[in-house]
Amino acid sequence: MSAHVIPLYQKVPEKVIRHSLNNTIKVIDDLEIKLNEKGYHFLRNQTIGRYHFNFYCPQLKIAIEIDGYAHEFLEIYNQDAPKKLCISSLGITVFRFTDHQILVDIDEVLRALKNQIKSASTVYVV
């Protein structure tokens, strides 16, 4: 799926929405497989408070959110502001990746996670 910015308030054809949703589901599945292959233990489809994340590791306090095309809309972006404040106040680090990033450069996504996991792991070592 290519990353297209959809202008605000433009009617989006159902075909485009379905394509995005289908790819996002595939991307989530692909990322879950890669996380498991690397030995990272993330829970899928987790809710923290009233906020939803695609993946969450409670031991390391790391959440992963995969953004599809809807996050190109200003309205959706603005709705995420309270979520960011609430989650950061709980000491949780949130990684936000677009479905496109995961499709084209999953290795970079995994490197970013690996660096945070190393940092978080050293904090919890007694």
CATH number at residue 19: 3.40.960.10
Alpha helix (H) residue ranges in the chain: 14-37, 74-89, 99-104, 106-124
Q: Which strands, in side-by-side order, build the sheet including 62-67?
A: 43-48, 51-57, 62-67, 93-98
27 within a domain of the structure (yes/no) = yes
What torsion do the CA atoms of 48, 17, 13, 69 make, to the nearest 10 degrees?
A: 70
Question: How is residue 68 written in tokens?
Answer: 């599809």
pTM above 0.85, yes or no: no
Domain residues for the domain of 45 are: 14-124
**Torsion sign (Cα): 39, 40, 43, 44:** negative
86 within a domain of the structure (yes/no) = yes
95 within a domain of the structure (yes/no) = yes
Per-residue pLDDT of the chain (126 residues; tens, 9 = 90+): 444 444 444 555 566 556 566 667 788 999 999 999 999 999 999 999 889 999 999 999 999 998 865 555 566 667 777 888 889 899 999 998 888 888 888 999 999 999 988 887 665 443
Number of folded domains that form the chain:
1
